Amino acid sequence: MHAYESPELSCVKPADPVLAGRIESCMKRTIPSAAAKAAETGRIDAFDLEHYHGERHIYWDSDTAKILEGMAYALTIKPDEKLAALFRSWTEKIVSCQCADGYLNSYFTAVCPQDRWKNLSTRHELYCAGHLMEAAVAGKDLPGGKAFLDAVCRYADLICAAFGREKGKRRGWPGHEEIELALVKLYRATGNRRYLDQAAYFIDDRGTEPNVLAAEEPPAGTVFSVQADKPVREMTEAYGHAVRAVYLYTGMADVARETDDGELLNVCEKLFDNIRSRKMYVTGGIGSSFQGERFTRDFDLSNGSLMYAESCAAMGLCQLASRLFNITGKYLYMDVLETALYNGVLSGISLAGDDFFYTNYLEVDDNLVCYNSGSPVRQKWFGCSCCPTSFCRFIPQMGRFVYSVGEDEISVNIPAANTAELRLKDRTVKLKIEGNYPYSGNVRIVVETAGAFTLRLRVPGWCRAWRLAVGNETFAEPVIKRNWHAGEVVAFDLDMPVDAVCCDPRVTGNSGRAALRRGPVVYALEEIDQSCPVRELVLCPDRPMSIVSAPGLPAGTPAIRGTALREIFPEKTLYTVTPPRYEETVFTAIPYALWQNRGKTNMCVWNRILRAAY
């Protein structure tokens, strides 16, 4: 079951037009701005039990931990004395908050220590613990990291001693899943099998009878929303809170891999397929309802006011897809990861790196009604700021998705330009990928290390024609097994036409519409680029379309330009029997992930189309 591993963070250095720039802006703006907000709002000072007496919240520890995890990754990529000092000061403050028995939660320790573990369904104790574990593993080799890891291990030991079916323990599971995958990370970092066993307990006991979360009398529907209404091995479709769901499935995949549990892996694959085929937006966004931030019924994928597609959920889907690919070697998981990465994730953060969407709409017009944290304008921060802090830790890791490595095999998952040193069983292989992916399908891979190994290249699901060659030798399959000479160049060319993607008619809001996609990138029409409101445009995708430079966006960003008809309504009345008239015009579409980087404007991904003939 151990097909591949993702490379270490320091092994891959992106140099492409998308990932490299986003990682740089995260290190320069996202992490520092989030750290400043954490200080401004009291999130980090809340760990100072003696001196801080301001507001606290049950989920603040998770925000702090996610920023801290991002700091650790940033320092791994590029040492920085100022950031290293901040990392150490934060870890020292967190460690100082730990109770004598190992408990480590700023809210419950300061506000209501008598309520420890009393309401697991809604109060985020185990969720916060999981994020502290992930941060400690990420920073374990940094100055201050060992003391932090030791403290988190003491906390994990307390949790292991508290929860289980054994005599003297209590049954219980997290309302917001996260600790499951975090415990597996802690197990891998320390070798302590107890942490893996605890992750397996939280997964396998979840939803069994008597149902301990239901006994807590949470708000109506909570047990269903947090995926605790049935045992996980009986689940057949994704439902409930989308972020919690994909975190749970990721933990399940991790435990399945470490314990060689084929049954549990099979459940994960079925759940993923349900998301991919019935509950995922064309951008890779998931969780279609703002109410409960949840999955709903199959094909319920509205584009405007009622939708959600939370940024955190798209990031969670990426981590799940990465796990499942590394276990199975099936590229369909990388297809989803790539879609979510280039569209549903990066749309949630501005190019500058310090403005954020919580909700990622696919259609914005003057009638948009925003709910919860939705807004047609990116925000600097949110009261519940899980998305900005998630970007702190997710973006620095994006280079790890480019490759997966086996004992004597390298899989090129996403052929984005980079330099890499990849560790196989008995050697380190240096590779260099050149090109302009995802904006161009012409890729060159320079093998800089001689020796025998296999290079496996993913042909994306969107690609209908491709060519692969080394020198004059061509390949009919995207797998090259050979004794490489240093300096050999692999030419990998993926045809990248503009596609008008249509949708299953059961998604009624997309009937008669199409979304433009080129390669893995989904495009949107922003009103700022059009001669009329986007709602008046009818695209003609059968006519020639050209690639032009996107105005006002980073150099090299492609835009799609083509023919459209402007629909002119004849009368200023709600209904009429007089048909509209049409005028030919042009449209310009930009990468969806970059919308609203040039000011507030209306936007649409699914546009009405006129086909030449049927």
Quick one: pLDDT band at residue 224, thresholds 50, 70, 90?
confident
Give percent of the chain above pLDDT 70.
98
pLDDT reported for residue 492: 98
Tell me, yes or no, whether 539 and 489 share the same domain.
Answer: no
Specify which residues 442 forms β-bridges with: 493
Residues 81-103 have pLDDT tens digits of 999 999 999 999 999 999 999 99
Residues 39-67 have pLDDT tens digits of 999 999 999 999 999 999 999 999 999 99
The CATH number covering residue 468 comes to 2.60.40
CA atoms of 53 and 401, how far apart (whole Å): 42
209 CB burial (10 A radius; 0-12, 13-18, 19+): exposed
Quick one: pLDDT band at residue 489, thresholds 50, 70, 90?
very high
Residues 570-591 have pLDDT tens digits of 878 889 999 999 999 999 999 9
Quick one: pLDDT band at residue 193, thresholds 50, 70, 90?
very high
- In the predicted model, what is the mean pLDDT of residues 242-252? 98
- In the predicted model, what is the mean pLDDT of residues 267-290? 97
pLDDT reported for residue 375: 83
pLDDT reported for residue 290: 86
CA atoms of 558 and 521, how far apart (whole Å): 10
Q: Which string of DSSP letters, residue by residue, matches 285-316?
A: -B--BTTTTEE-STT----STT---BHHHHHH
- Whether the pLDDT of residue 569 is over 80: the answer is yes
Tell me, yes or no, whether 483 and 516 share the same domain.
Answer: no
Quick one: pLDDT band at residue 194, thresholds 50, 70, 90?
very high
Tell me, yes or no, whether 415 and 474 share the same domain.
Answer: yes
- Whether the pLDDT of residue 221 is over 80: the answer is no
Give percent of the chain above pLDDT 90.
92
Q: Could you tell me if residue 167 is inside a domain? A: no
Tell me, yes or no, whether 478 and 550 share the same domain.
Answer: no
- Whether the pLDDT of residue 613 is over 70: the answer is no
Tell me, yes or no, whether 482 and 567 share the same domain.
Answer: no
Look at residues 452, 469, 494 and tell me which one is the last residue of a structural domain: 494
- In the predicted model, what is the mean pLDDT of residues 524-530? 98
Look at residues 494, 510, 535 and tell me which one is the last residue of a structural domain: 494
- In the predicted model, what is the mean pLDDT of residues 167-171? 95
Residues 294-329 have pLDDT tens digits of 999 999 999 988 899 999 999 999 999 999 999 999
DSSP character for 503? -
Other CB atoms within 10 A of residue 168 CB: 7
Tell me, yes or no, whether 442 and 502 share the same domain.
Answer: no
- In the predicted model, what is the mean pLDDT of residues 349-355? 97
Tell me, yes or no, whether 464 and 550 share the same domain.
Answer: no
Q: Could you tell me if residue 220 is inside a domain? A: no
- Whether the pLDDT of residue 614 is over 60: the answer is no
Tell me, yes or no, whether 489 and 502 share the same domain.
Answer: no
- In the predicted model, what is the mean pLDDT of residues 357-378? 87
Q: Which string of DSSP letters, residue by residue, matches 75-120?
A: HHHS--HHHHHHHHHHHHHHHHT--TTS---HHHHHT-GGGTTS-T
Residues 449-461 have pLDDT tens digits of 999 999 999 999 9
- In the predicted model, what is the mean pLDDT of residues 503-524? 97
- In the predicted model, what is the mean pLDDT of residues 415-426? 96
Quick one: pLDDT band at residue 291, thresholds 50, 70, 90?
confident
pLDDT reported for residue 603: 97
Q: Could you tell me if residue 481 is inside a domain? A: yes
Tell me, yes or no, whether 485 and 520 share the same domain.
Answer: no
Q: Could you tell me if residue 347 is inside a domain? A: no
For the whole model, what pTM was predicted? Answer: 0.97
pLDDT reported for residue 184: 98
pLDDT reported for residue 570: 85
End-to-end CA distance of the chain: 47
Quick one: pLDDT band at residue 2, thresholds 50, 70, 90?
low
List of long-range contacts for 459-463, beta carbons under 8 Å, 24+ apart: 459/331, 459/494, 460/331, 460/335, 460/338, 460/494, 460/519, 460/520, 461/331, 461/332, 461/335, 462/335, 462/499, 462/517, 462/519, 462/520, 463/494, 463/495, 463/496, 463/519
pLDDT reported for residue 376: 86
Q: What is the 3-state secondary structure (H, E, C) of 37-73?
A: HHHHHCCCHHHCCCCCCCCCCCCHHHHHHHHHHHHHH
Boundaries of domain holding 425: 404-494
Q: Could you tell me if residue 539 is inside a domain? A: yes
Residues 3-53 have pLDDT tens digits of 899 999 999 999 999 999 999 999 999 999 999 999 999 999 999 999 999
pLDDT reported for residue 217: 66
Q: Could you tell me if residue 508 is inside a domain? A: yes
Q: Could you tell me if residue 266 is inside a domain? A: no
Quick one: pLDDT band at residue 367, thresholds 50, 70, 90?
confident
**How does strand 451-457 pair with strand 409-412?**
parallel
- In the predicted model, what is the mean pLDDT of residues 418-425? 97
pLDDT reported for residue 557: 98
Tell me, yes or no, whether 507 and 590 share the same domain.
Answer: yes
- In the predicted model, what is the mean pLDDT of residues 137-159? 98
Residues 376-414 have pLDDT tens digits of 899 999 888 999 999 999 999 999 999 999 999 999 999
- In the predicted model, what is the mean pLDDT of residues 63-75? 98
CA atoms of 605 and 303, how far apart (whole Å): 9
Look at residues 494, 510, 540 and tell me which one is the last residue of a structural domain: 494
353 sits in the region (left: phi over 0; alpha: psi -120 to 50; else beta) called: left
Q: Could you tell me if residue 84 is inside a domain? A: no
Number of domains the chain contains: 2
Quick one: pLDDT band at residue 369, thresholds 50, 70, 90?
confident
Least confidently predicted of 210-224, 232-246, 463-477:
210-224
Location of structure tokens 């709409």: 361
133's tokens: 């574990």
pLDDT reported for residue 484: 98
Residues 98-115 have pLDDT tens digits of 999 999 999 999 999 999
Tell me, yes or no, whether 523 and 605 share the same domain.
Answer: yes
Tell me, yes or no, whether 484 and 584 share the same domain.
Answer: no
